[in-house]
Amino acid sequence: MNSYLKNIALLFLLSYTNWSIAQQLNLPLNREFNLVNQKAFNNYNAYVHTAFQPMLQSQMDTNLIESLSASEKNDFLINVNRTHIKNRSWVARKLFYENFIQIDTGKFYLTIDPLLNLELGEDLDDNRPEKPTLFVNTRGIIAKGHIGEKFSFQTAVYENQANLPQYLVDYVNTNNVVPGQGRVKKFKDNGFDYNTAISYISYSPNKRLNFQLGNDKQFIGDGYRSLLLSDFAYNYPYYKAVVLFGKKNQFQYTKLNAGLSNLVRRTDISTPEALFTRKSMSVHYLNWIATKWLHLGVFESTIWQTESQSGTKPYNFMQLNPILFLNTLNAGFDGNDNSQLGINTKIKFPFKTIIYGQLMYDGNEINTKYGYQAGIKYFGISGLTLQAEFNKVEPYTFSSELPLQNYSHFNEPLAHPLGANFTEIVGIVNYKYKRIFTQAKATVAQTTSTGSNIFLNHYISTNGITPIIETDIINLQFHIGVLVNPKNNMSIMLGVNNRKVTSNNVDFNTNYIYFAFRTSLRNLYTDF
């Protein structure tokens, strides 16, 4: 009886929170943090658009809590409801239950939390006599809040120093960025110093319409990877409009515009700190809940060339076009402005299983470029999520004749981390019991050098001189941890990352074991 009353009270609290102040913030773009939320959103009878992420809190159906087990209900939309714990000391409340600073006047709501990733580890397969001590030292702060019922804001800053495993050091030295976290400068002998800033403001004039302006990442799809738009690359400035329409809001239309950079200095300026060359991206995505079990989405993305050898080009107002497919009809697949098209699907089954998939097309007059994804996710056991996924992308996909037209930002792909010409299988097991959680993940990929580098001009012919290199990449990752504070996902973790790369002339292993005290509110990928 006490458990029943507790669930009724929790449901009332969530419903009251959503009604009293409709929060216009996004759910954190972190897969593991959102597993319980996604389980509720993918309930067979749920009408929730899940494909374009991060998802808006005010559009969540709090009644979906009834589809969860008793233990999972405590984690549902945990960062949405206002938590006030009684009969606990201030230290216990702030460390284990509540936001560190919380101000609530009714019309104004603000929370402030620390951001940490204090990680220490060792690569057991690094046999160098003077191998460096591996660590990550991240300190930061996140502030978010609401002003009235229609306006919300969030800002976060991360400052980092790190000594990374050798394969990540090689990645940084090649691309001049830490994966997903931006440019670096040297730190002592072997380390890197880098920082990241995330912020946005969000305004909803009514329940069906939302506008955002900020600097962050986006993700399209229901899988672990995305072949349309992923959150692998670094943050970018954007503005976004989302509208719901139709019976039961069965249609969701998203218009996104973003400013992107290639980390190549402009040649017409003599100073060493000349500006980087820039380009723009516009995205249209229409999602349709055709039935309670079938979701269909259509995707269009256009990379706009905003610069040329003579300087900045006049602004092309077609970037503001809100109509799906019109930019592709205007720009095509192989011109000064380059478009990609895609389809995203999801089928839900009543036995708590979904299958999902993507198909993307990025053709040109030389190569027919495409990729596809197929996956399955099962969440029928309390606390357990199983996921398997297959991804394949053809050679030269996402590349272009013009460097400012490839599908990238900050020297990183905007879709899959491996670029093009690969096949990949992903398997993930997640389990959580109370505050103890664990994840086991395996990715097995095979890449071929021909047409795999999206930054190379696909028109350049090697006339068969360059040898074709096939590479097998196996990533095995496992971690187990204890959730310290569910409000900001602060946790203590012990993990191991095993990576094996085998090719014609390379056999390289990494066996990284680490201990971390971490605030995890974003996806960071090292499995490529």
Q: Is residue 346 part of a domain?
A: yes
pLDDT at 254 over 80: yes
Confidence class of residue 344 from pLDDT cuts 50, 70 and 90? very high
pLDDT over 70 for what percent of the chain?
91
Q: Is residue 350 part of a domain?
A: yes
CB hemisphere CA count around 383 (13 angstroms): 12
Q: Number of structural domains, the chain?
A: 1
Q: Is residue 443 part of a domain?
A: yes
Helix or strand or coil: residue 38? helix
Q: Is residue 526 part of a domain?
A: no
Using alpha carbons, select from 331, 327, 323, 393 the residue that is nearest to residue 364.
331
The more confidently predicted of residues 10 and 156 is 156
pLDDT digits (tens, 9 = 90+) for 91-139: 999 999 999 999 999 899 999 999 999 999 999 999 888 888 999 999 9
Confidence class of residue 366 from pLDDT cuts 50, 70 and 90? low
Q: Which helix (H) or strand (E) holds 371?
A: strand 370-378
pLDDT at 143 over 80: yes
Q: Is residue 525 part of a domain?
A: no
pLDDT at 16 over 70: no
Using alpha carbons, select from 324, 311, 329, 379 the residue that is nearest to residue 351.
379
Residue pair 99/488 in contact (Cβ under 8 Å)? The answer is: yes
Residue pair 40/65 in contact (Cβ under 8 Å)? The answer is: yes
Q: Tell me the pLDDT of the chain averaged across its residues.
A: 90
Using alpha carbons, select from 110, 33, 437 the residue that is nearest to residue 100.
110
Total Cβ atoms within 10 A of residue 463: 5
In whole angstroms, what is the distance from residue 384 CA to residue 477 CA? 17
The CATH number assigned to the domain holding 28 equals 2.40.160.130
In whole angstroms, what is the distance from residue 262 CA to residue 144 CA? 30
pLDDT at 314 over 60: yes
Sequence-separated (6 or more) residues with CB below 8 Å from residue 278: 259, 260, 261, 262, 306, 307
Residue count of the chain, please give it.
528
**In the structure encoding, which two tokens stand for residue 366, read together?**
């030389």
- Residue 459 is predicted with a pLDDT of 60
In whole angstroms, what is the distance from residue 6 CA to residue 27 CA? 25
Q: Is residue 527 part of a domain?
A: no
Average pLDDT over residues 440-463: 84
Q: Is residue 231 part of a domain?
A: yes
End-to-end CA gap in the chain: 49
CB hemisphere CA count around 137 (13 angstroms): 9
pLDDT at 78 over 90: no
Give the range of the structural domain holding residue 52, as residue numbers without chain letter.
2-519
For 239, counting Cβ atoms within 10 Å of its Cβ (0-12 exposed, 13-18 middle, 19+ buried), the class is middle
pLDDT at 19 over 90: no
Q: Is residue 524 part of a domain?
A: no
pLDDT digits (tens, 9 = 90+) for 162-200: 999 999 999 999 999 999 999 999 998 889 999 999 999
